[in-house]
Amino acid sequence: MSTYACDAAAIRDAAQRLAGIVHRTPVMTSETFNRLSGKQLFFKCENLQKAGAFKYRGATNAVCRLSAAAAANGVVTHSSGNHAQALALAARRRGIPAYIVMPKTAPAVKKAAVEGYGGRVTLCEPTLTDRERTANELVAQTGATLIPPFDHPDVIAGQGTTALELLEDVPDLDAMIVCVGGGGLIAGCTIAAHSLRPALRVFGAEPSGADDAARSKAAGQWLPQTNPNTIADGLLTSTGQLTWPVIRDRVERIFTVSDDEIRATMRLVWERMKLIVEPSGAVAAAVALSEAFRAVRDIHKVGVIFSGGNVNLDRLYW
């Protein structure tokens, strides 16, 4: 029995459930990135996933796992980012309503994307308290099921399928770098990776302006995110009650990178790999290029996850 909310069996079940629904995203390489990092890097391109990010995996797994009776009432979440779009699309695929609470300050392009996938948007004040209150009111009014962005066993299991695919394509990796926001992706990927390769080393990647996971690892206890400030807007939240224990126990180290490093890496990915990644999606690659990671010994082949590619093309970050 796993000591965590999600185990390897749940991730394998999710992989079977999601087959033919989510994209099996490609793994790509770049001689430029290999030269700059001093290692062989293998990029798992979740920026090419449906809805533009890995979030579609967890959202779809959670929606598929609902009973027919529960699904009929729909799903609710509060998110201004990729989870909102992913849940709206997953719900539309099953033919059920998706009630999405978004802050009034959310960019119009994100609201339009959620509505384009069929989500029913409710705007609220831009505070976590108001987002949670509004979501709970919708649950009470509609009977819909709350599907949070990361702290949910089915969501974590869905995200873990990313690592299963990566290790099927590149089975002899020495290490994996995964970005950390709420922690759903890194928790699921760590459990999946260690089920196949127990000795594989997993590293987290965070913006220095939103470094709660790094501070928590250093302190040996969960610490909340406080006043995050970074262009990587998908990584602003604290790790969750279900995701933090996996990070605490199984992730070797969290590396942080500056916004300037994120911008430079994002631009390099666009220019050299011809792939669109968002700031949050470039954080793991920025760590791979950092001096601190270059100094890690006995690592040669590294999996790097491009977590998403949803950018506002009216605002180029450099």
Distances (CA, A) of 208 to 40, 75, 230, 237, 256: 25, 34, 8, 13, 5
Q: Measure Cα distances from 66 to 50, 83, 167 in Å.
A: 21, 17, 29
Among the residues of 269-310, which ranges form H helices? 279-289, 291-294
Look at residue 44 and give its three-state secondary structure. strand
Query: How do beta strands 98-103 and 27-28 pair?
Result: unpaired
Give the separation between CA 163 and CA 188, rounded to whole angstroms. 8
Query: Which residue is catalytic, options 55, 110, 111, 217?
Result: 55
Q: Give catalytic status of residue 301 as yes or no.
A: no
* Distance from C-alpha of 165 to C-alpha of 168, rounded to nearest angstrom: 5
Both tokens of 118, joined, read 């069929």
Dihedral angle sign, alpha carbons of residues 147, 150, 151, 154: positive
Question: Within 73-222, where are the H helices?
Answer: 82-94, 108-116, 128-142, 153-169, 184-196, 212-219
Could you give the CA distance from residue 265 to residue 4 in angstroms, rounded to a whole number?
34
Given a contact cutoff of 8 angstroms between Cβ atoms, the answer to whether 204 and 247 are in contact is yes
Q: Which one of the listed residues 30, 37, 79, 80 is annotated catalytic?
A: 80
Catalytic residues: 55, 80
